[in-house]
Amino acid sequence: MSVGGLRLQLTVDAAMGLKNWFDGIGRGLRAFSRRMADDARGNVAMLFGLSLPVLILMTVGGVDIHRASTVRVNLQDALDAAALAAARSPYTTNAELRTVGLASLRANLKAYPEITLREADTSFVLNSDDVVIASSKVDVKTLVANIFLPPYGKFMDDYLPVAAHSEVDRSSRNIEVAMVLDLSGSMGGQKLTDLKNAAKDLVDLIVQPVQTPYYSKVALVPWSYSVNPGSYLTSVRGSVTGSTAITGAVINLTGTQRTITAATKARPVVITSNGHGFANNDVVWISGVSGMTQLNNKAYLVRNSTTNTFELFTLSGSRVDGRNYSNHSGSSGRVQRCQNNDCSITITSAAHGLSNNDYVYITGVSGMTQINDQTHLVGNATANTYTIDLTASSLSPYTSGGLSWCAQPGCTYYAFENENEDLATHRISSCVTERTGAQAYTDAAPTSGARVGRHYPDINGSCLGSTIEPLSSSISGIKADIDAFSVSGSTAGQIGIAWGWYMVSPNFSSLWPSSGGAAYNTAETLKAVIIMTDGEFNAPYCNGVTARYYNASAAASNNCDPDNGEPYAQSRALCDAMKVQGIMIYTVGFQITAGGGAEDLLEYCASTASGFYNAGSGTELSEAFNAIGRDITQLRISK
């Protein structure tokens, strides 16, 4: 429109110049006419006087005709743009198309104040071939004829009518867009605010208020160190082995229980128990002592044994110091040797499903609370019982309750050797990680054998709070989800990219039938994935725990290499696979390091060179998202 406006301004300037020129000519002609009137040859003067108005009308009228021709070009440009706007709209009735087209046409013609739009002669019609046909007329005010020859200018009614015609093949498609948005911890504060604003603007550009005959939908994939599938968790991850109830827990003792008749306040404590029968280095369990209760519910090593006495040493070999203990009283104390000298505990839990050398995590036991919230190695497993080693220097008697949890991959808890080569236990979260195996880089449905990865972040099972949103045309609903975004965790962009694909994949449609992606057919449905991140990918996984050498905390990292390799290679493989299916990929870096791995990946993944944006500020982020929205809208009708 600016070019057309320049043409019109040049035309006006030229007309004013011509007016000044014609003023000079007019003065000359009037002087010449007076001389002719004085000429004796009156016939020549009379003929010249009669023909002069016609000659002037022809001359100055040409200026207006030239101007009308220029305006027609400008009108054609404006009408073409208005017809395209109407074609891009979701509307199907002529009245709705005219409303959109007329609004665009009025806006485009504001640059030309000397013309008048004939709205009654303007139409936008959709024919049976899905072509928008637009017609319009404007009146162009004459600039010359009505100034110099007002009576003759009226022959043109002071205005010249100009018409234009335009046709746009609508050829539209459905739109499915997945927004893959980084919500890692570094995205907090103003960056999160900027992202929310830019993302909501993009939703307004893509999702149309009318969803017929072509729909336009957006899916949300917030991600950080994992992705939260919300109510679809079990469908994509599979079920997780839970707990069984504990109904008993006893110390494994053997031999005859002996009575303690005395205990000295010395270092070491000397126990008197007539005819006890214990040998040096036996492990014994003491309970029920009165007075010197500090001895109760603990295991000890027997040293310097005699027929009726022995000294107490800790299991680590130190003398037990009883000098500050209370005085022993009565004869109620009991001592008994531990079975196999390990003082193991027999747990009763029906159908526990554990095998020897499995790990088990115990919670909620009453009485023998010392075994709670710890990981134990399973031994002597039967269908309903197993043993665990003593894990505390003292142990209270079991009274009731408790839960037995398996602690292998696929269970609620997972015990593993961390990067420090210590045993660590994490609880499963409500999020998911990378898919492994043959389907790692496909969009196969998440059925048995193709489940996505489990996520064991820490002992609490922490998880990104923001959940995915399947394809939706609810603008208010999508924006509400965006407003609820919160940040946490590290940056596992490869997982977000995979889920961006899943959201528009027809193979995942069985998960969300009303919001599933259409079949792959670029002529009917435009599928696009927008990947946005602010940093380097640093969280690949091994058995659902961040792999070694990638996590800042060695204590929380699994002491194994990533199942699928480093995250950038995973991301490239996923982008390549998406492009094969005709999915358009746009990428946006937000204040990322120039020349870093993230920038290289985003440039690689973008379907076109112009589809990669590196935003250095919130304003630039909004501009990038707006440009992507406009491009998707244009692609929708350019098949």
Beta strands in 73-197 (DSSP E): 115-126, 131-141, 159-169, 174-182
Q: Is 175 helix (H, G, I), strand (E, B) or coil?
A: strand
Q: What is the rounded average pLDDT of the residues 356-385? A: 96
Residue 564 confidence (pLDDT): 97
CB 124, CB 85: distance < 8 Å: no
Per-chain mean pLDDT for the chain? 88
Min mean pLDDT across 36-50, 132-146, 308-322, 503-517 is at: 36-50
pLDDT tens for 211-255 read 888 899 999 999 999 999 999 999 999 999 999 999 999 999 999
**Between 123 and 114, where is the model more confident?**
123
- CB contact burial 47-63 (16+ within 10 A = b; e otherwise): ebeeeeeeebbeebbeb
Checking if the pLDDT of 129 tops 80, the result is no
CB 426, CB 361: distance < 8 Å: no
Q: What is the rounded average pLDDT of the residues 609-623? A: 97
Q: What is the rounded average pLDDT of the residues 406-426? A: 96
This prediction's pTM:
0.73
Q: How confident is the model at residue 46 (pLDDT cuts 50, 70, 90)?
A: low
- Strand-by-strand arrangement of the 216-223 sheet: 469-472, 216-223, 174-182, 525-533, 584-590, 612-615
Checking if the pLDDT of 534 tops 70, the result is yes
pLDDT tens for 479-531 read 999 999 999 999 999 999 999 999 999 999 999 878 889 999 998 999 999 99
Q: What is the rounded average pLDDT of the residues 348-354? A: 98
Q: How confident is the model at residue 64 (pLDDT cuts 50, 70, 90)?
A: low
CB 339, CB 253: distance < 8 Å: yes
Residue 624 confidence (pLDDT): 97
Which residues are within 8 A (CB) of 75 and not within 5 positions of it... i.e. 6 or more apart?
Answer: 109, 115, 136, 138, 162, 163, 164
- Joined tokens for residue 194: 């900027």
Min mean pLDDT across 132-146, 259-273, 475-489 is at: 132-146
